Structure 1
Amino acid sequence: MMKFKALLFLGLAVMVTGCGLLGKGGKGGKKTSSTTGWEYNNPDNGGFQADGDYNQLTGPGLTFIEGGTFTMGRVEQDVMYDWNNMPRRVTVASFYMDETEVSNLDYREYIFWLQRVYPQNPEKLEAALPDTLVWRKELAYNEPYIENYFRHPAYSNYPVVGVSWLQADAYCKWRTDRVNEKILVDRGVIQHDASQGGQNVFTTDTYLAGLFQGTDGDKPYEDASGNPRRLQWEDGVLLPSYRLPTEAEWEYAAYGLIGNTDGELLTERKLYPWSGSYLRDDSKKNRGQMMANFVRGRGDMMGMAGSLNDNADITAPVNSYNPNDYGLYCMAGNVNEWVADVYRPLNQEDVEEFQPFRGNIFTQYRRDDDGNLLRNEFGELIQDTIADYRNFRDGDYRSQIIEGQSWEDQKDQLSTQDMYIKEDEAGQFSSLISDNVRVYKGGSWKDRPYWLIPGTRRYLEEDQATNDLGFRCAMTRVGSPQGL
């Protein structure tokens, strides 16, 4: 019996050692390289840092979207006869997305920050302000919305509108920097500096490049070996960038097919972000209530008094109606939403099966003759384009950079303007499809139900805005697609 116990103990010890639970340390402890035998995170042998237990934190406002394969594109009759969303099977990697559309309150925080940090640069603020005149109509009394919709607290929780694609993209970049700044402040790595301004403004890029100068209260980051140093991207402390979702990501998240599967079997393909083909809730508790904010019929924006069908004359609060199976609100109706993609009618014939996206512009940081990184007057690193794939397979070769010439030297001779007929004369055809036209999806408070289908798509020039077009942010998931 004693011999059996001894053998059992020896076997367990071998199993534990083989699994790496002995001799390599637990989470945050010293671990041994399987390549060299040297210990990681040990200052006595150089302090090479290794952390195999990293799990990405969920950024503020985001929810996790587990990726997978789905059929992207048309699920309903193409009533517009655009033939621009033919069905095709694609795979989307796991990512994060805002639970709600960006609200007026969210965007006002952005505007307030710009006013505080750049008081001497009114052009910075002017470029970010929403266009409140999108509410003005020649034959409608919408002046109260011009005055109140964006700034009045009554509309704080309503989706921001009048924002162009360019403004939405800039907001995502600003949000990235504020979230990462808060992470460093909470960890005591830097002190909050309300007086920062000019070129010394915290951005994630300038901090990682060692250009951001904090205050006297800043403390060095201590790595797993206890070495004080400047925090690096490899430490896994900072979050990836907030950004606009790709069209594939947005459509995948909107359907929320995770609630309609049995293993790998899709039991019911959705028409809308909810199951079934009805626009009213068929549950016993909420039977008859509208599932989204849209136009029910000509001149019917919200129903009869005493029984408002969607309780919204224009937009509704961003957390209205039932969320889909990913926990996302208003993925149909309320406001349309910008996505990252450049529009082409036949994108499905060009894009990849994994992570499809059209709009890649590859850049590199600009440096002076001594190799130092250069910043603009707002403290942001300057980036130069080295390749542009928005026009891939369009008969234009701007994606090819001629060796020895800069992008600036080539951009005129490689222009795409001749590809599109753009005449101001009456009767001349003018194509809206260019490198500066972006996709938007989702339907809105003034759209018919057809546009609530996630597979439908429309487009608008990236510097334009409307009173029914907003956005939400996304973030890349790094590491395991399921989480640890």
Structure 2
Amino acid sequence: MKKISLYILLALIVYSCRSNDQGELVGVKSKSKWQSEKPLGMTLIPGGSFTMGKQSEDIAGSLNSPTRTVTVRPFYMDETEITNSEYKEFVFWVRDSIVRTELALYAELLGEEGLEDYKFLNVEETDMTPYQQYMMEAYGSIDGDPNSPTQGKMLNWEEEIIWDKNQFPSIQYAEVMVDSIFIPIEDSFEGRRMVNVDKLKFKYYYLDQEAAAKNEGQRRDFIKQETVRVYPDTTVWVRDFNYSYNDPMHQDYFYHEAYNDYPVVGISWIQAKAFCRWRTKKKNDFLNTKRKSTTVPQFRLASEAEWEYAARGGLENATYPWGGPYTTSDRGCFLANFKPTRGNYAVDGALYTMEAKSYFPNDFGLYNMAGNVSEWTNTAYNEETYYLSSTMNPNVLDSKNHRKIIRGGSWKDVAYFLEVSTRDYEYSDSARSYIGFRTVQDFLGTDIKGN
């Protein structure tokens, strides 16, 4: 007992000698000064209050968006809808992860013959921290996934993957690609070997924080797992329109580089949520390589209130993001991509979608908050949502309600759906040729410099 008391006394003396607070309460100090970092391609939406809902005649008679004053906190929002090029980065990362895992597993099975360049990296060969080394050795992955197919080893991301079948380096490499990655022989034609997109799945875990906060139980009881197919449903260009020739869009819209800067479509709400998780992981993985202990706030879908506030661009009582009640400028130029007249889709300059950064941005610097593609939000839809939700950061999360609100209208919609207060919905597992998304990220703190 005397030894324990002596140790405590020595610890107090050492702490007192090293501290220069003179015994005053000064709080815990951080080693470095923190400041918010604006993500690339995003703009800061300042928090504030606004009048949400229909402020003029509800011509559709939906009666589901009465006016009321609400307040939202500041957040970052993508300047444009997520493009094909940006979403491809997600798809390619998932694809390459699967390919490298298959190659490494075969290399281990075959004793590395013909696949030496793609074998797993041993923990000792990597530049990992002691924590990462222990997690890999004890649990098979840095994030502690006990079902990791990499068997406690690191994938080799340095060696380039060869996709040209005429350049395959070995028979073993060809075996992996043909039997594990490409579509089955019976599904191919004209000698075309394509990646089996059904295998491109992204698995992630998340904590159901709302359920955990409202219910008792162990933390593990509220950890959820999702496995999501990530490839867009390109058939939407055919299925959405009967008796219409849209095969070129079906074949080329996501695949061809000509459409890289166009908004991605054929994405369900579930896939959009998975993309947000991956984007967060991508940034945090980079910070880990820099040995930084900080993590970024989650990228996510905007709530319905956040979306409407951002679309208004700080303008009160505005019908459209540009403020005026008309869809054309004083020179007769259309201000958005939509369906102006019956059967005439192209009079506004585009038959289908347009580049994500087209037309003029609103006063927050956001492009195409009206038209081009409708956008998923994180809010569940029902007619009483406006009445049920809070007036402070309103959002209705209901995992049992598969109807999710979409906003902004699209290239195939009439002007009514472009209004900033118009509500619509789609089912969370559905994908459409006219629905895309953009992401947001929380701004930490309340002091917004220069605003």
TM-score (norm 1): 0.61
Equivalent pair of 1:32/1:39 in contact (CA under 8 Å): no
Match in the other structure for 2:355: 317
In structure 2, which of residues 359, 364, 369 is the aligned counterpart of residue 326 of structure 1? 364
In structure 2, which of residues 389, 398, 410 is the aligned counterpart of residue 351 of structure 1? 389
Counterparts in 2 of 1:31 and 1:299: CA distance versus 1, 3 Å: farther
Does residue 181 (structure 1) correspond to residue 290 (structure 2)? The answer is no
- Report deviation, 1:281: 1.9
Alpha-carbon separation, structure 1, partners of 2:436 and 2:447:
28
Alpha-carbon separation, structure 2, partners of 1:112 and 1:76:
46
Match in the other structure for 2:373: 335
- Report deviation, 1:78: 1.7
Does residue 463 (structure 1) correspond to residue 399 (structure 2)? The answer is no
Structure 1, unpaired ranges of 5+: 1-29, 41-47, 190-220, 222-230, 232-236, 261-267, 304-309, 360-389, 392-433
Does residue 37 (structure 1) correspond to residue 24 (structure 2)? The answer is yes
Moved over 3 A (4+): 30-34
Match in the other structure for 1:54: 34
Counterparts in 2 of 1:149 and 1:109: CA distance versus 1, 3 Å: same
Equivalent pair of 2:322/2:362 in contact (CA under 8 Å): yes
Equivalent pair of 2:200/2:231 in contact (CA under 8 Å): no
The residue type equivalent to 1:290 in the other structure is F
Alpha-carbon separation, structure 2, partners of 1:468 and 1:75:
26
Equivalent pair of 1:32/1:38 in contact (CA under 8 Å): no
Structure 1 counterpart SS, 2:235: helix
The residue type equivalent to 1:130 in the other structure is P
Equivalent pair of 1:66/1:481 in contact (CA under 8 Å): no
Cα deviation code 1:204-238 (max 9, x no counterpart) = xxxxxxxxxxxxxxxxx5xxxxxxxxx2xxxxx32
Match in the other structure for 1:278: 326
Cα deviation code 1:71-129 (max 9, x no counterpart) = 11112322222211111110011111000000000111100000011235925167111
- Report deviation, 1:182: 2.3
In structure 1, which of residues 105, 124, 131 is the aligned counterpart of residue 201 of structure 2? 124
Equivalent pair of 1:256/1:273 in contact (CA under 8 Å): yes
Equivalent pair of 1:64/1:97 in contact (CA under 8 Å): yes
Counterparts in 2 of 1:453 and 1:33: CA distance versus 1, 3 Å: farther
Alpha-carbon separation, structure 2, partners of 1:176 and 1:156:
22
The residue type equivalent to 2:334 in the other structure is M
Equivalent pair of 1:169/1:244 in contact (CA under 8 Å): yes
The residue type equivalent to 2:359 in the other structure is Y
The residue type equivalent to 1:352 in the other structure is S
Bigger shift: residues 323-332 or 59-68: 59-68
Match in the other structure for 2:305: 248
Match in the other structure for 1:169: 273
Equivalent pair of 2:337/2:353 in contact (CA under 8 Å): yes
Alpha-carbon separation, structure 1, partners of 2:432 and 2:387:
30
Structure 1 counterpart SS, 2:229: helix
Counterparts in 2 of 1:32 and 1:474: CA distance versus 1, 3 Å: farther
Counterparts in 2 of 1:32 and 1:143: CA distance versus 1, 3 Å: farther
Cα deviation code 1:381-438 (max 9, x no counterpart) = xxxxxxxxx28xxxxxxxxxxxxxxxxxxxxxxxxxxxxxxxxxxxxxxxxxx61110
Match in the other structure for 1:88: 68
The residue type equivalent to 1:300 in the other structure is N
User: Could you say which structure has the greater relative contact order, defined with CA pairs below 8 angstroms and 6 or more residues apart?
Assistant: 1
Cα deviation code 1:126-177 (max 9, x no counterpart) = 7111111100033111011110001101100000001000000000010011
In structure 2, which of residues 230, 239, 255 is the aligned counterpart of residue 151 of structure 1? 255
The residue type equivalent to 1:108 in the other structure is K
Equivalent pair of 1:93/1:481 in contact (CA under 8 Å): no
TM-score (norm 2): 0.65
In structure 2, which of residues 394, 398, 419 is the aligned counterpart of residue 453 of structure 1? 419
Structure 2 counterpart SS, 1:90: strand
Structure 2 counterpart SS, 1:132: coil
Alpha-carbon separation, structure 2, partners of 1:109 and 1:322:
27
Cα deviation code 1:3-58 (max 9, x no counterpart) = xxxxxxxxxxxxxxxxxxxxxxxxxxx99769x53777xxxxxxx64268422111
Match in the other structure for 1:431: none
Counterparts in 2 of 1:118 and 1:322: CA distance versus 1, 3 Å: same
Match in the other structure for 1:224: none
Match in the other structure for 2:406: 440
Structure 1 counterpart SS, 2:93: helix
Alpha-carbon separation, structure 2, partners of 1:148 and 1:162:
13
The residue type equivalent to 2:306 in the other structure is E
RMSD over aligned Cα atoms: 2.2
After TM superposition, the structure 1 = structure 2 runs for residues 17-28 of structure 1, keeping only pairs within 5 Å, are none
Counterparts in 2 of 1:103 and 1:33: CA distance versus 1, 3 Å: farther
- Report deviation, 1:482: 1.9
Match in the other structure for 1:293: 337
Match in the other structure for 2:245: 141
Q: Which has the higher helix share?
A: 2
Cα deviation code 1:359-379 (max 9, x no counterpart) = 0xxxxxxxxxxxxxxxxxxxx
- Report deviation, 1:483: 3.4
Alpha-carbon separation, structure 2, partners of 1:32 and 1:69:
44
- Report deviation, 1:457: 0.7
In structure 1, which of residues 106, 111, 114 is the aligned counterpart of residue 86 of structure 2? 106
Structure 2, unpaired ranges of 5+: 1-17, 103-148, 150-198, 203-227
Match in the other structure for 2:47: 67
